[in-house]
Amino acid sequence: MTLLRIQNVMSNELAKRAFFSRPPEPPFEFLLNDPTDSIFIGITKLFKVPFTWTFASLTNPHLAIVGITGAGKSFLIKTFLIRASYIWNTNAIIIDWAGEYKAWVRQSGGTVVSLAKGDFINIMDLSGMKPLDRTKQIMNSFDILTDISNYPEQRRLTAEAIEQSYLNAGFDIANPPDPKKDAPTIKDVVALLEEKLEENTYQYPAELENAIYRLRQFSREGEDFFAKKSTIDLGKLSTSGLVSIDLSGLPDEQFRAMAALFILQTLKEKMRAEGWSASKGLKAIIVLDEAWKIAGDDRSDAVMIVREGRKYQFGLIVASQNPTDINEAIFSNVGTTIMLRVRFEKFMNYLQGSLNFSQFIRSEISKFGVGQAAIDMSFHTSVQFPDIFILDKVVGEIPLDMYTITVAEILNQDELNNTAIQKEYTFSKMEMNSKLVEINLGSGIIEKVFKEMDAKSGLVDIRLLVQALIRDNVNKDLILEFLRSIGISDILITRIFTFIT
Ligand SMILES: Nc1ncnc2c1ncn2[C@@H]1O[C@H](COP(=O)(O)OP(=O)(O)OP(=O)(O)O)[C@@H](O)[C@H]1O
Ligand SMILES: [Mg+2]
């Protein structure tokens, strides 16, 4: 009798009820997966179902995350990486454009590789790859980042010199390398081309000069970040837990993009070489946050990883404030798209056009608060329900309580390269608090200082911190005492004050 009554209500009454005019959610069994084999993200808005993410029924494990600044993209990424590591032991490699993940990675026990601030990569390193293949990759990066493809003769000369440098260093260019041998660097390549120029027998000396000029920008003293022996073992990147490659110390976008492309290439090769093994979950996740130059180009390995990652259990997370910066081959192929708050009509049109969602969802997305999200999943079998739904809020890990003060910006290049000089000082909130209390700051000011540091995700330039203290009328002697107490040398303290006064 009861059953009959329920069925009755189901068929007649429910259809008339308001929530059928609102977008329903995918059925329960598609949202709530085995908690030992999926990642909890948050609670759905409509039926309050805990949503746990897995890629088992999706076209692939890749994610695109879009949303305006402050919407919660990085917070979601951090939450996702931590839980993936708990559940599947997933390794993560963050290509950290602006250095915004550094403090968090340290706090989480991960490794930070600070390029140009003590860490270097030799872009000619092979990590098990044949020199011929690495040469092609280096040329591919030059194609993406420079206009060398418009100058075929320069391109040919460069590729030839790279191969020749491998030969000269004793490598067999068509075979996997002897791991004990040191790879040559771009400096060797430049030297070869210069020798050729001096011989004065080459038909087009201007082409040769231009090829040398292009390469020199990566080998010049002080800017030779990619032309020195690597300080990290690139072959181990995808098996080292949580790693952030901090690119913020490199001088410009071109250098940052060069490093990012190189790392992606290395990871892609590693992924292919490791082959497929039927382990649970994801082996590694690569994060590209605001790396538009890398995520936008058709020739970037990011596209290749999206195409092939599934079978190797490698996932890519691409995040951006601007969805049109993400290459279409990536955007239209990721298994999961997460839309946090989006404001611009142009971006909204693009999202609605490619994901085909309702006006209702559109208006919700434009009103989202921090952490609210619409999620679109592509299932690999056709499904009879709308594949987009709304999360009340991304439920994250406990907020950060580590603070890192960086002095890198006031160091000169020699000091930056010197590994003995400390560039960053990391403290827990308690330690930081007691240091501020020690110099007799009132709790109002201390609170303000923490607020300023929180606004920078816990990573602050020493000058900003000192400026904030001066603004709050803190006595200069007390500031001095504070700087000494955190371990900054008197030479640097003097420099800090000359920078800001
Ligand atoms: N789901 C959430 N729950 C609680 N706090 C959140 C959530 N999402 C974001 N926040 C907080 O909001 C602030 C901004 O978030 P976040 O840094 O992730 O933004 P973003 O989208 O990465 O911005 P940007 O594009 O500027 O990098 C942070 O202080 C973060 O801790
Ligand atoms: Mg961010």
Domain boundaries, the chain: 39-120+230-394, 143-216, 402-500
Which class in CATH covers the domain with range 39-120+230-394?
Answer: alpha beta
User: How does pLDDT run across 180-211, given as a tens digit for each residue?
Assistant: 999 999 999 999 999 999 998 999 999 999 99
| Helical packing angle, 131-145 and 253-274, nearest 10° | 140
Supply 205's token pair: 């000396």
CA 288 – CA 323 distance, rounded (Å): 13
Measured from the Cβ of residue 36, the count of other Cβ atoms closer than 10 Å reads 9
User: What per-residue confidence (pLDDT) applies to 13?
Assistant: 52
Supply 95's token pair: 């290509």
Q: What atom in ligand 1 is closest to the CA of residue 72?
A: 18
User: What per-residue confidence (pLDDT) applies to 272?
Assistant: 83
Supply 449's token pair: 């200082």
C-alpha to C-alpha distances, 178 to 161, 172, 182, 402, nearest whole angstrom: 20, 9, 9, 42
Q: Quick one: 226 exposed, middle or buried, by C-beta within 10 A (0-12, 13-18, 19+)?
A: buried
Which band of pLDDT confidence, cut at 50, 70 and 90, is reported for residue 20? Answer: very low
Whether the Cβ atoms of residue 207 and residue 157 lie closer than 8 Å to each other: yes
β-bridge mates for residue 375, sequence order? 338, 389
Phi-psi region of 64 (alpha: psi -120 to 50; beta: other; left: phi over 0): beta
DSSP per residue over 22-35, as a string? SPP---HHHHS--T
How much distance in Å is there from the Cα of 457 to the middle of ligand 1? 9
Average pLDDT over every residue of 444-464: 87
Nearest one of 176, 190, 186, 187 to 126, comparing CA atoms? 176
Give percent above pLDDT 90 in the chain: 57
Residue to mutate, 41, 63, 68, 75, ligand 1, most ligand atoms under 8 Å from C-beta: 75
Average pLDDT over every residue of 271-280: 76
Measured from the Cβ of residue 205, the count of other Cβ atoms closer than 10 Å reads 12
β-bridge mates for residue 326, sequence order? none
Greatest alpha-carbon pair distance for the chain in Å reads 100
User: How does pLDDT run across 279-316, given as a tens digit for each residue?
Assistant: 778 999 999 998 777 888 888 889 888 888 888 889 99
The phi and psi torsions of 239 (rounded to 5 degrees) equal -130, 25
- In the predicted structure, residue 17 carries a pLDDT above the cut 70: no
Task: State the chain's mean pLDDT as an integer.
Answer: 89
What letter represents residue 131's amino acid? P
How much distance in Å is there from the Cα of 456 to the middle of ligand 1? 11
Is the CB–ligand 1 distance for residue 75 below 6 Å? Answer: yes
Nearest one of 290, 335, 302, 472 to 55, comparing CA atoms? 335
CA 373 – CA 364 distance, rounded (Å): 9
Is the CB–ligand 1 distance for residue 73 below 6 Å? Answer: yes
CA 483 – CA 477 distance, rounded (Å): 10
Nearest one of 193, 221, 191, 225 to 207, comparing CA atoms? 193
User: How does pLDDT run across 55-103, given as a tens digit for each residue?
Assistant: 999 999 999 999 999 899 999 999 999 999 999 999 999 999 988 898 8
Element housing 339 (H / E): strand 336-339
Supply 179's token pair: 């791991």
What letter represents residue 288's amino acid? L
CA 84 – CA 112 distance, rounded (Å): 19
Contacts of 360 (CB under 8 A, 6+ apart): 22, 23
Element housing 66 (H / E): strand 63-66
- In the predicted structure, residue 38 carries a pLDDT above the cut 90: yes
Contacts of 458 (CB under 8 A, 6+ apart): 103, 104, 400, 402, 403, 404
User: How does pLDDT run across 358-385, given as a tens digit for each residue?
Assistant: 999 999 999 999 999 999 999 988 888 8
Q: Which of 76-80, 271-275, 380-384, 496-500 has the lowest mean pLDDT?
A: 271-275
User: What per-residue confidence (pLDDT) applies to 10?
Assistant: 54
User: What per-residue confidence (pLDDT) applies to 412?
Assistant: 87
Phi-psi region of 326 (alpha: psi -120 to 50; beta: other; left: phi over 0): beta
Is the CB–ligand 1 distance for residue 99 below 6 Å? Answer: no
Nearest one of 392, 353, 386 to 23, comparing CA atoms? 386
Is the CB–ligand 1 distance for residue 487 below 6 Å? Answer: no
User: What per-residue confidence (pLDDT) applies to 287?
Assistant: 96
| Residues counted in the chain | 501
Which band of pLDDT confidence, cut at 50, 70 and 90, is reported for residue 4? Answer: very low
Out of 8-17, 49-58, 275-284, give the one with best mean pLDDT: 49-58
Is the CB–ligand 1 distance for residue 42 below 6 Å? Answer: no
CA 374 – CA 98 distance, rounded (Å): 26
User: What per-residue confidence (pLDDT) applies to 398?
Assistant: 53
CA 191 – CA 482 distance, rounded (Å): 49
Is the CB–ligand 1 distance for residue 393 below 6 Å? Answer: yes
Q: What atom in ligand 1 is closest to the CA of residue 79?
A: 1
Q: What atom in ligand 1 is closest to the CA of residue 394?
A: 1
Whether the Cβ atoms of residue 236 and residue 108 lie closer than 8 Å to each other: no
Which band of pLDDT confidence, cut at 50, 70 and 90, is reported for residue 418? Answer: confident
Which of the ligands is closest to the CA of residue 65?
1
CA 259 – CA 262 distance, rounded (Å): 5
Is the CB–ligand 1 distance for residue 394 below 6 Å? Answer: yes
Which protein residue's CA is at the shortest distance from atom 18 of ligand 1? 72
Phi-psi region of 323 (alpha: psi -120 to 50; beta: other; left: phi over 0): alpha
Q: Which of 112-126, 206-220, 434-448 has the lowest mean pLDDT?
A: 434-448
Task: Determine if the pTM surpasses 0.85.
Answer: no
